[in-house]
Structure formats: structure tokens, C-alpha cells
């Protein structure tokens, strides 16, 4: 017998679309409606088989695995807790509690995607809005260094390009869409204007836009590969719109200038509020990376790269970010939650993980699982576990449990580890 | 668990106490009569020579949620050097003006406070608020739900559907697990989404054709209809502007005869001064408060030093950003509200800040009935809640007050009414403005007093000449009969409860709300509501 479960949220990307219909047959997913290609893939590939935890390559029971994890953490002088962006708030809270208890360093995948965005926010602030304001009000949308057509497939349809909103009843026709990127993309094809910026020149272009917006002149024919006449037009469009929104991505955060690029953009957006209303939304990738920022901030005061080694929270991007701590060989044990750093981190960092005892909590098999000393095949939030994820605009979305699988949640395992460490 | 706090001088204004020697007995978290306790099995505290009060009740504080957390994230400089290390079971934390969640619970408890209300939550992100509340130990708490710029509500008002508006508000409080109606700059936040604001109670809300006055009248009526335990909690129009005293008094006239709570009134009691420096109109505003017996207020006293301003009042925060040049966060929330954050440093040498300080002091001293004026700093807007002991000293100690008055900017000091105000608060009056009064205004019957049946939330102080020192470090603090802080340090961190209301409504309204959702929201109707088990230690408080 199959049941249709409606209003299910997909945690593949930061859109956290919560209008998906899933056909459930026992503890199996028989069909998915409304999801994008990627989200559907994630749901379709869900494997309901309950696997046992693994310690040093051997299957053991849960109690033994918890004991082995606790022994590793007790032994360590400088443990690292990392990942967290694809698990739920409930587990993130426990991970921070464990880090605090251990005097560990804790970092999330934020530090390798929108970490610089956080630094820019700390420097200049951030004028932002929820995605519903984008849909209902924005008549000018700028995508800067991001390509939602590939990374956030339903973004255009739900929020930013085609949907009809209160003040945008004609959908696409009521919006001017601009893409700024170093190369043409699937997103730029759908834009009204595409401005191709030279790689590494975003900062100069943004500075020029700030100058032009203030009514000052820029004495050059082109900045960063973009004719100044085009920048003038863009500024004119920005000032004349009713409500403008910039979506920005890793094209800004991970290119030359990093947080300075983002700070320049955030300053431009703030200044445009002198003329009209303007907001910016970081295009967050992982389904609950925004939530990881939130939990770490409310528990420690800082959004990522936090060390509890001195007994109290210290913030240190570059110092306490996972890539750096691992590449310098400073961590002597690692606990990874819902992430695959061996596949995604730079080589030096990934290699160090193979040399230290690593504990992994993750529903899906991964490269990290293949090197980890202890692996907990946990439940998937939004499938066989309930929880909360925060959308890229920080709106919390409940994740429902579609069926009972018998797999423990990240939260339960972390709780047991907290009990077991000394 | 049984407890006896014996022989202390008890300040329990609700039950007439003014420092009489009295024994307080507690059992299973409640105050009980002596016969119910076996003294041999009870924990006995010798309170002889000590001052005993109910646990403090904060009626307005921004302690958790989307805005507060954005404030924490925005301000690493606020946390550096203001850390607390983990000790035993107690979590570490940081934050001078915007402390982390666990630290917030500890700091309040260490000051003798046991009940705190989160002052503004957009319903769309209420889930976030409750998740943070679950990480605030010890305190009992609740969340006020912002509605003053809510699209569905404004449409109901526009269409003359008062009953539909009432049913919607009941539904909204229920699904967001809120405790009270919060209004922030009614209509002005919606207009800010067009780059505008409102300046008069009869200005138009763009796109809705309603006015701030209509919004205020409607929610005050709804509040009475639903019999909510607290009054509508109102941050009016023109906050921070020289027209604020005038429109504050107008709002009181409009709402005369209805229960109303006006929050952080200090920020809304200014008149036109010279140049950019406003004048204090505390006298006129206090007179209006004195004349309107249904009105309660909290002051939002400015404390010199660092603060973090954060309100749902988007246009106000933008103008603060422009005026100070400080970094600025804005967040427009679909269909509901907005908000902003700007760090600030209040200086004695700044005439604008000095007038703000004066205005708060004058309100405290000119509002006659202590049962209607409550101690707040609108944390962290005018100062951190950890400054309450300092504010108490200003109220109780005229000499100290004059000393501070002498130190503020000339332009504010000269001719200030405050010079002439001799009033000094008594301990009983302090117990009223920080405990009994706010508990009564919130409709929390078991809070703010020590009569039989009350929650055994008890703060025990060593009387000292320096009232700031006295109130900063209580000898003992009990929460529900359990010792949670001793000599100003937390010793236990039991979880606190979350109070919410669930007023009944005509379920027919849900059809309309559902339709509204499809057009106005980007989250599903089904995913908007919080179930009662999603609130940590939730407790529904009955409406009338
Ligand atoms: Zn407030």
C-alpha cells in the first residue's frame, strides 16, 4: 500500500523547497512529485537498508561504536568536529555541545563556501530579505557569481525569475534580470543583461559601481572587462527599480578578494537604499548550512571556525577553519557529521584525515566513510528522521519523518557520545 | 523537594509585604503554607537580615531569535573579551551586549531573574525563536508575536472584517506558540518596503489603505475579545523622532479604556529641541500615562556604554545607520514585518544620548503608580539587561543620580526637570517594577509574588548601601524551589518552561488563511505551524 505525503521539504540545496509530494510504500520511496532533478535523485537513491556501524573495518553494534568514538575523543588533545551543513538543527546543537565539552575545534562547510560572506557581514552588515519578498516585490534581480540554473534548479521558478507575485503579477515580464559572471552560464542565458567580468576583477567592478552610484565619474573605458557605459546603465537600472535583490555566490567568495568582494557588494547594496529599496541574499548551497551558522552563533557567538580549546569560544577563520587545522596537521582526531571532506577538501587536508582517527556520522556511503575509523550509518533528516533546516534566507522549515527505519539519528548518536566522553 | 527561606525581610508587594519578617516555605516548586512542609526534610536557608523578593520578571527583552542571532553574528567585537569558560556542566558562552543563549540564562538567573519575555518574533521564524529558547536554561519565558504590519490582518481591517481579524490573531498566536500580540511601528514597516514610513496615526499604509490608528484600535479590541493574559504590547510610530511624544499621547487617547502596554516608552517620549538634539517630553507623556489607568509601560532606560539596537522597526534602524555610520543589518520578512540591527555606543558626552538617559529617568520618577511602570533597558537596545542593578541604584539613590546628571552633556543637563525630582524608589517599589508589576501585567498569576500557590522563584539579597552591588549578586536564587545561583554564580541549570496562549477561534477562518498562504508565502501552510511538542517544556496559559 502506498501513501502520498504532501508538503515534504527537500534538503538538497538552500532553497529547501517544502512543497514536494512523496509516495511512500512501507519504508521505501515509490515516487516523488514536484522536486527538481537533483532533489528527486537524492530521494530516489535513498536506501532504506539499515546498516550496522563499523569500527576499524568491522561491523559492530551501536554501543560498541559509541564506545570506540568516545575512546578516540577522550584520547585526543585537539579534536576537530566538522561538516554539519547537511544535518538538522537538533544534531547541530548536540555537535556544538560536544565540542564545548571536549574543548574541540568546530567548523562547518561554511568555511569553504560562504565563510567570506560571514566575514563581510561582520564588517559592514547585510541588508537582506526573505525569498517571498523577492517573489512579491523585486523588479530587478541580479545574480552575481552564482548559477542557480545548475545549483538551485527551482530558484528561478519559485522565487526569482518566473513566478507571479503580489507586485509582479506578470512574472518574468515584470522583472529585469542581470547576471554578472566570469563566463556565460545556464543562468546568463535566461537574463536580460549579461555582464562578463574578468576573473578576479569583481572587486574593481563593485567599487566602480559604488562610485557611479554616488554620482562620481569613473575615468576608464572599461573596468574588469566591462565597458563603463554598461556599468552606468546598470547603476541607472538599480536606482530606478522599485525593489532590487542581488543573489551572490561562490564566484565572489572563492575568487581573488573573497570577503572584500562580498563586503564591497554588501556596501553597494546598503548604499542603494538611499535611492530605493535593495537587498542581498547569499545563495547558500547545502540544505541546512544556514542553520549550522545559526546554531553555532547562538551557542558560541560566532558562525563557523570556532575553537573551545581554551574553555571558551574563540573565532578564528584561517586559524580554526577545518581546511587549515587539517592541512597544518593540528587536529589529532576528527568527528565528521553529514559531510564528505575526503572528497571535497584540498588534498593536504583530506590526507591528514586519513592519518588521524576519524569518526563519521552519515546516512550515505562516501569516500570519508572508506577511511574513517568509526562509521555511524545514521538516519536521513526529512526521510526517516524529523528535524528543522534553515533555508538560505534563514527561514526555518520543518523536516518530517516519512517512515520509521530503525536507524538512529545524528542527534541520538551525538547524545550518546556526549554521555560517554569524559 | 522542600525548601524553607526563614526569617528574611520579605518584599512581596502583591501580598502587601513591605519588609516584614516572614518565612517562605516551598514544596514541589510552589510556595506552600508551613503545615505542608516537614521542616526536618526541607532545605533550610537562614535569611535573617537578608532581603527576600520574588524572582525577577522581565517584560521586554530581545534575548533570542532571528534578529538577536543576526546581532550576535554581526558583532564578534562584542564577544571578544566577554567570554565565559565552561565549568562542569555549564556551557561556555560569549557576548557583552548580545550574549549567547546559555550565558543569557545564567546571567539573568545570577541577577535574581527567573522569568523573561522575548519581545518580538515574526511568526514566519517563530520556530527559530523556540529552538533558541530551548537553549536558554533556567528561565521561564514566552515570545511576543509581531503583527503590526501583517498583510492578512491589514486586509481584514481594510475589508471591515473585524471578527475574521480576531480569529486570525487567535490562530496565529496558537500556531506560532506566542504569548502576546506585539505591534511595532504599525504600517511603518510595510511602508519601509517602499522606502517610506508613517509619521501620523492617520497616514496610509501603502497598498492596504488602512492606517496605524485602525491597526492599533483593532488589535486592542481583539486582545480584549480573546481575553489574552497580557495587553497588546505596542512599540508605536515615530520611535526616536521629535514627534514621538505627541503621537504616543495620541495613541493613548485613541486606545483609552482598553488594556495597552507601551514598551520602551523612553524612545517614544521626545519633542522638538534645538537642532538635532530632541527634548525630553517625559512630563507630558507621564501625565498621559497617569491619566489612563489601563496603560502599563516599560521604560527602556538608556545605560551609557555599548549597546546593540535591534528592532522590527526597519525604517528606524535605517535612519540610525545613516545617523551613526555604523554597520547595518536589515531583514524584510514576507507578508509580516521587517527589522534591523545597528550597534551603538551611548555616551554621556553626546547630547542626544544624554537626553535619552534623562528621559528614561524622568519617566520612572514621574509616573506615579509603580504597578504601571516596569524596569527594562529594552535589552540590548538601550543597554544590556545586566545593567538592571545599576538602574535600580539610579532610582533608589538620588545623590548618585545627581552625580551622573552632573556628568552628562551640558546641553542636556541645563534646565533638565530631573534636577528637581527628589523621589527615591523604596525596596518595595523596586520589587513592584521588577517583579510584581510586570507579572501582573503579563497575567502570570504564579509569578512576581510569594503567596501560597506562587511559583517558588525566590531571590535573596544581602542589603547593602550600594544598591547596584546588592542587586548584582544575590546570595541565593531559587527557581521552582531549586537553588540555581549562589553569591551571583549559577549552580544549577534546570530547563525553564515556555508559556504560550492558544485562544479558541472559528475554524472557518483557516480556509481563508490557506488561500492567503498560497499567494503570499513561500512556505507551505502545513509547515508554518508549530506543534505543542516542538516547544521546549511548553505550557499553555489560559485566556480569560
Ligand atoms: Zn524592544
Q: What is the CATH number of the domain that holds A330?
A: 3.40.50.740
Identify whether residues A411 and A349 lie together within a single domain.
yes
**Residues A293, B73: C-beta atoms closer than 8 Å:** yes
Domain assignment present for residue A223? The answer is yes
**Percent residues over pLDDT 70 in chain A:** 100
Q: How far is the CA of B472 from the centre of ligand 1 (A)?
A: 23
Number of domains within chain B: 1
Mutation choice for A interface testing from B93, B105, B123, B330 by most A CBs within 10 A: B330
**Residues A132, B195: C-beta atoms closer than 8 Å:** no
Q: How far is the CA of B312 from the centre of ligand 1 (A)?
A: 8
Q: What is the nearest CA distance from B479 to chain A, expressed in angstroms? A: 23
Domain assignment present for residue B175? The answer is yes
pLDDT reported for residue A44: 82
Mutation choice for A interface testing from B334, B344, B532 by most A CBs within 10 A: B334
**Residues A301, B330: C-beta atoms closer than 8 Å:** no
Domain assignment present for residue A43? The answer is no
Domain assignment present for residue B241? The answer is yes
Examine the pLDDT at A48 and tell me if it is beyond 80. no
Contacts of B124 in chain A (CB under 8 A): 130, 395
pLDDT in tens, A351-380: 999 999 999 999 999 999 999 999 999 999
Q: Any residues with CB less than 8 A from the CB of A75 and at least 6 apart, and which? A: A333, A357
pLDDT in tens, A5-40: 999 999 999 999 999 999 999 888 999 999 999 888
Identify whether residues A139 and A99 lie together within a single domain.
no
Task: Indicate the residue of B101, B318, B334 with minimum beta-carbon distance to A133.
Answer: B334
Q: What is the nearest CA distance from B523 to chain A, expressed in angstroms? A: 6
Q: How far is the CA of A271 from the centre of ligand 1 (A)?
A: 26
**Residues B94, A130: C-beta atoms closer than 8 Å:** no
Q: In what order do the strands lie in the sheet with B305-311?
A: A125-129, B328-332, B340-346, B305-311
Contacts of A115 in chain B (CB under 8 A): none
**3-state secondary structure at position A398:** strand
Domain assignment present for residue B496? The answer is no
pLDDT reported for residue A45: 80
The DSSP bridge partners found for residue B84 are B93
Instruction: State pTM to two decimals.
Output: 0.98
Domain assignment present for residue B254? The answer is yes
Q: How far is the CA of A37 from the centre of ligand 1 (A)?
A: 44
pLDDT reported for residue A234: 98
Distance in angstroms (rounded) separating the CA atoms of residues B53 and B8: 9
pLDDT in tens, B63-87: 999 999 999 999 999 999 999 999 9
Contacts of B95 in chain A (CB under 8 A): 301
pLDDT reported for residue A132: 98
**Residues A303, B73: C-beta atoms closer than 8 Å:** yes
Identify whether residues A270 and A339 lie together within a single domain.
no
pLDDT reported for residue A42: 82
Identify whether residues A306 and A261 lie together within a single domain.
no
Nearest partner of B267 among B322, B162, B346, judged by Cα: B346
**Residues B127, A277: C-beta atoms closer than 8 Å:** no
Write out the residue range of the structural domain in which residue A308 sits. 51-112+287-380+407-420
pLDDT reported for residue B382: 98
Domain assignment present for residue A2? The answer is no
Q: What is the nearest CA distance from A267 to chain B, expressed in angstroms? A: 9
CATH of the domain at A244: 3.40.228.10
Number of domains within chain A: 2
**Residues B94, A137: C-beta atoms closer than 8 Å:** no
Identify whether residues A108 and A127 lie together within a single domain.
no
pLDDT in tens, B133-183: 999 999 999 999 999 999 999 999 999 999 999 999 999 999 999 999 999
Domain assignment present for residue B80? The answer is yes
Last residue of a domain, one of A225, A249, A282: A282
Nearest partner of A361 among A373, A343, A339, A376, judged by Cα: A376
Q: How far is the CA of A340 from the centre of ligand 1 (A)?
A: 42
Last residue of a domain, one of A250, A265, A282: A282
Domain assignment present for residue B22? The answer is no
Contacts of A387 in chain B (CB under 8 A): none
Contacts of B318 in chain A (CB under 8 A): 273
**Residues A300, B526: C-beta atoms closer than 8 Å:** no
**Residues B92, A100: C-beta atoms closer than 8 Å:** yes
Closest chain B residue to A307 measured between Cα atoms?
B92
Last residue of a domain, one of A259, A282, A305: A282
Distance in angstroms (rounded) separating the CA atoms of residues A154 and A35: 8
Q: How far is the CA of B460 from the centre of ligand 1 (A)?
A: 28
Domain assignment present for residue A30? The answer is no
Domain assignment present for residue A10? The answer is no
Q: What is the nearest CA distance from A314 to chain B, expressed in angstroms? A: 8
Identify whether residues A127 and A96 lie together within a single domain.
no
**Residues A313, B526: C-beta atoms closer than 8 Å:** no
pLDDT reported for residue A405: 87
Write out the residue range of the structural domain in which residue B124 sits. 55-444
Identify whether residues A300 and A266 lie together within a single domain.
no
Contacts of A395 in chain B (CB under 8 A): 124-125, 522-523
Give me the residue label for grid cell 541565593.
Answer: B476
Examine the pLDDT at A262 and tell me if it is beyond 90. yes
Given a contact cutoff of 8 angstroms between Cβ atoms, the answer to whether B450 and B31 are in contact is yes
Q: What is the nearest CA distance from A133 to chain B, expressed in angstroms? A: 5
pLDDT reported for residue B415: 86
pLDDT in tens, A169-185: 999 999 999 999 999 99
Distance in angstroms (rounded) separating the CA atoms of residues B515 and B391: 49
Domain assignment present for residue A119? The answer is yes
A63: pLDDT confidence band, cut at 50, 70 and 90?
A: very high
Given a contact cutoff of 8 angstroms between Cβ atoms, the answer to whether B454 and B54 are in contact is yes
**Residues A397, B527: C-beta atoms closer than 8 Å:** yes
Contacts of B526 in chain A (CB under 8 A): 6-7
Give me the residue label for grid cell 535513498.
Answer: A46
Contacts of A302 in chain B (CB under 8 A): 73, 76, 79, 94
Q: Any residues with CB less than 8 A from the CB of B189 and at least 6 apart, and which? A: B148, B149, B312, B313, B314, B315, B337, B338, B339
Identify whether residues A182 and A156 lie together within a single domain.
yes
Identify whether residues A143 and A229 lie together within a single domain.
yes
CB neighbours (10 Å) of residue B463?
A: 12
Domain assignment present for residue A37? The answer is no
Nearest partner of B311 among B348, B284, B344, judged by Cα: B344
CATH of the domain at B121: 3.20.20
Per-residue confidence in pLDDT tens, chain B, 544 aa: 899 999 999 999 999 989 999 999 999 999 999 999 999 999 999 999 999 999 999 999 999 999 999 999 999 999 999 999 999 999 999 999 999 999 999 999 999 999 999 999 999 999 999 999 999 999 999 999 999 999 999 999 999 999 999 999 999 999 999 999 999 999 999 999 999 999 999 999 999 999 999 999 999 999 999 999 999 999 999 999 999 999 999 999 999 999 999 999 999 999 999 888 999 999 999 999 999 999 999 999 999 999 999 999 999 999 999 999 999 999 999 999 999 999 999 999 999 999 999 999 999 999 999 999 999 999 999 999 999 999 999 999 999 999 999 999 999 999 899 999 999 999 999 999 999 999 999 999 999 999 999 999 999 999 999 999 999 999 999 999 999 999 999 999 999 999 999 999 999 999 999 999 999 999 999 999 999 888 989 999 999 8
Amino acid at each position: 500500500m502506498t501513501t502520498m505525503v504532501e508538503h515534504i521539504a527537500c534538503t538538497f540545496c538552500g532553497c529547501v523547497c517544502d512543497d514536494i509530494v512523496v509516495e511512500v510504500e512501507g519504508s521505501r520511496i515509490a515516487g516523488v512529485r514536484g522536486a527538481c532533478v537533483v532533489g528527486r535523485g537524492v530521494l530516489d537513491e535513498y536506501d532504506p537498508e539499515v546498516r550496522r556501524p563499523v569500527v576499524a573495518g568491522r561491523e559492530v553494534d551501536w554501543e560498541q561504536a559509541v564506545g570506540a568514538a568516545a575512546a578516540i575523543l577522550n584520547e585526543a588533545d585537539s579534536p576537530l568536529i566538522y561538516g554539519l551543513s547537511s544535518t538538522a538543527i537538533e544534531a547541530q546543537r548536540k555537535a556544538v555541545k560536544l565540542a564545548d565539552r571536549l574543548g574541540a575545534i568546530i567548523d562547518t562547510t561554511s568555511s569553504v563556501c560562504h565563510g567570506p560572506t560571514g566575514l563581510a557581514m561582520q564588517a559592514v552588515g547585510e541588508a537582506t530579505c526573505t525569498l517571498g519578498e523577492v517573489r512579491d516585490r523585486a523588479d530587478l534581480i541580479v545574480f552575481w557569481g552564482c548559477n542557480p540554473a545548475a545549483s538551485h534548479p527551482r530558484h528561478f521558478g519559485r522565487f526569482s525569475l518566473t513566478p507571479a507575485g503580489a507586485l509582479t503579477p506578470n512574472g518574468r515580464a515584470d522583472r529585469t534580470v542581470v547576471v554578472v559572471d566570469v563566463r556565460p552560464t545556464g543562468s546568463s542565458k535566461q537574463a536580460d543583461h549579461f555582464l562578463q567580468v574578468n576573473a578576479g576583477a569583481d572587486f574593481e567592478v563593485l567599487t566602480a559601481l559604488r562610485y557611479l552610484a554616488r554620482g562620481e565619474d569613473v575615468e576608464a573605458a572599461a573596468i574588469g572587462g566591462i565597458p563603463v557605459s554598461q556599468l552606468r546603465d546598470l547603476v541607472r537600472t538599480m536606482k530606478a527599480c522599485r525593489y532590487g535583490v542581488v543573489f551572490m555566490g561562490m564566484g565572489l567568495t572563492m575568487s581573488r578578494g573573497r570577503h572584500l568582494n562580498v563586503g564591497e557588494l554588501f556596501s553597494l547594496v546598503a548604499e542603494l537604499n538611499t535611492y530605493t529599496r535593495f537587498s542581498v541574499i547569499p545563495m547558500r548551497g547545502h540544505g541546512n548550512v544556514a542553520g549550522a551558522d545559526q546554531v553555532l552563533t547562538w551557542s558560541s557567538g560566532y558562525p563557523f571556525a570556532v575553537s573551545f580549546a581554551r574553555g571558551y569560544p574563540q573565532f578564528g577563520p584561517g586559524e580554526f577553519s577545518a581546511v587549515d587545522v587539517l592541512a597544518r596537521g593540528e587536529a589529532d582526531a576528527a568527528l565528521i557529521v553529514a559531510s564528505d571532506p575526503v572528497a571535497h577538501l584540498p588534498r593536504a587536508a583530506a590526507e591528514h584525515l586519513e592519518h588521524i582517527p576519524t569518526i563519521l556520522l552519515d546516512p550515505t556511503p562516501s569516500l570519508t566513510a572508506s577511511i574513517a575509523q568509526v562509521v555511524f550509518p545514521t538516519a536521513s533528516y526529512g526521510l526517516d528522521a524529523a528535524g528543522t533546516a534553515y533555508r538560505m534566507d534563514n527561514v526555518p522549515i520543518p523536516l518530517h519523518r516519512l517512515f520509521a527505519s530503525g536507524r538512529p539519528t545524528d542527534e541520538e548518536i551525538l547524545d550518546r557520545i556526549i554521555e560517554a566522553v569524559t | 523537594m522542600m525548601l524553607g527561606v526563614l526569617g528574611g525581610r520579605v518584599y512581596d508587594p502583591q501580598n502587601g509585604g513591605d519588609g516584614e519578617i516572614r518565612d517562605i516555605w516551598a514544596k514541589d516548586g510552589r510556595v506552600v503554607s508551613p503545615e505542608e512542609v516537614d521542616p526536618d526534610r526541607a532545605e533550610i536557608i537562614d535569611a535573617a537580615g537578608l532581603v527576600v523578593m520574588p524572582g525577577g520578571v522581565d517584560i521586554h527583552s530581545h534575548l533570542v531569535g532571528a534578529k538577536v542571532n543576526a546581532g550576535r553574528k554581526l558583532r564578534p567585537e562584542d564577544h571578544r573579551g566577554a567570554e565565559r569558560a565552561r565549568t562542569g556542566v555549564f556551557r561556555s558562552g560569549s557576548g557583552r551586549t548580545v550574549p549567547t543563549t546559555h550565558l543569557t540564562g545564567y546571567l539573568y538567573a545570577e541577577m535574581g531573574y527567573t522569568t523573561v519575555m522575548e519581545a518580538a518574533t515574526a511568526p514566519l521564524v517563530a520556530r527559530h525563536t523556540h529552538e533558541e529558547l530551548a537553549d536558554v536554561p533556567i528561565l521561564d519565558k514566552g515570545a511576543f508575536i509581531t503583527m503590526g504590519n501583517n498583510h492578512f490582518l491589514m486586509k481584514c481591517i481594510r475589508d471591515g472584517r473585524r471578527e475574521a481579524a480576531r480569529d486570525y490573531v487567535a490562530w496565529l498566536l496558537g500556531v506560532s506558540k506566542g504569548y502576546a500580540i506585539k505591534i511595532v511601528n504599525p504600517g511603518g514597516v510595510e511602508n519601509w518596503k517602499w522606502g517610506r514610513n508613517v509619521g501620523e496615526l492617520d497616514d496610509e499604509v501603502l497598498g492596504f489603505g488602512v492606517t496605524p490608528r485602525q491597526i492599533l484600535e483593532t488589535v486592542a479590541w481583539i486582545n480584549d475579545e480573546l481575553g489574552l493574559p497580557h495587553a497588546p504590547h505596542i512599540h508605536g510610530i515615530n520611535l526616536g523622532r521629535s514627534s514621538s511624544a505627541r503621537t504616543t499621547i495620541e495613541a493613548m487617547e485613541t486606545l483609552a479604556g482598553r488594556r495597552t502596554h507601551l514598551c520602551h516608552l523612553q524612545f517614544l517620549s521626545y519633542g522638538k529641541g534645538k537642532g538635532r538634539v530632541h527634548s525630553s517630553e517625559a512630563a507630558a507623556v507621564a501625565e498621559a500615562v497617569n491619566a489612563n489607568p489601563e496603560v502599563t509601560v516599560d521604560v527602556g532606560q538608556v545605560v551609557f556604554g555599548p549597546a546593540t539596537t535591534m528592532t522590527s522597526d526597519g525604517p528606524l534602524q535605517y535612519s540610525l545607520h545613516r545617523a551613526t555610520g555604523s554597520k547595518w543589518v536589515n531583514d524584510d520578512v514576507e507578508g509580516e514585518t521587517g527589522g534591523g540591527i545597528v550597534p551603538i555606543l551611548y555616551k554621556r558626552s553626546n547630547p542626544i544620548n544624554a537626553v535619552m538617559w534623562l528621559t528614561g529617568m524622568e519617566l520612572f520618577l514621574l509616573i506615579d503608580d509603580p504597578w504601571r511602570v516596569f524596569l527594562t533597558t529594552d535589552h540590548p537596545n538601550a543597554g544590556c539587561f545586566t545593567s538592571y542593578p545599576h538602574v535600580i541604584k539610579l532610582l533608589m539613590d538620588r545623590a548618585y543620580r545627581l552625580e551622573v546628571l552632573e556628568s552628562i552633556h551640558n546641553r542636556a543637563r541645563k534646565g533638565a526637570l530631573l534636577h528637581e525630582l527628589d523621589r527615591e524608589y523604596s525596596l518595595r517599589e523596586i520589587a513592584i517594577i521588577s517583579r510584581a508589576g510586570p507579572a501582573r501585567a503579563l497575567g502570570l498569576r504564579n509569578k512576581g509574588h510569594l503567596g501560597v500557590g506562587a511559583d517558588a522563584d525566590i531571590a535573596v539579597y544581602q542589603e547593602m548601601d550600594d544598591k547596584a552591588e546588592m542587586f548584582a549578586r544575590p546570595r541565593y536564587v531559587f527557581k521552582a524551589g531549586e537553588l540555581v545561583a549562589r553569591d551571583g554564580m549559577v549552580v544549577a541549570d534546570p530547563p525553564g518552561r515556555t508559556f504560550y496562549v492558544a485562544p479558541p477561534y472559528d475554524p472557518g477562518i483557516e480556509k481563508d488563511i490557506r488561500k492567503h498562504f498560497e499567494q503570499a508565502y513561500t512556505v507551505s501552510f502545513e509547515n508554518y505551524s508549530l506543534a505543542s511538542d516542538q516547544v521546549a517544556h511548553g505550557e499553555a496559559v489560559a485566556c480569560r
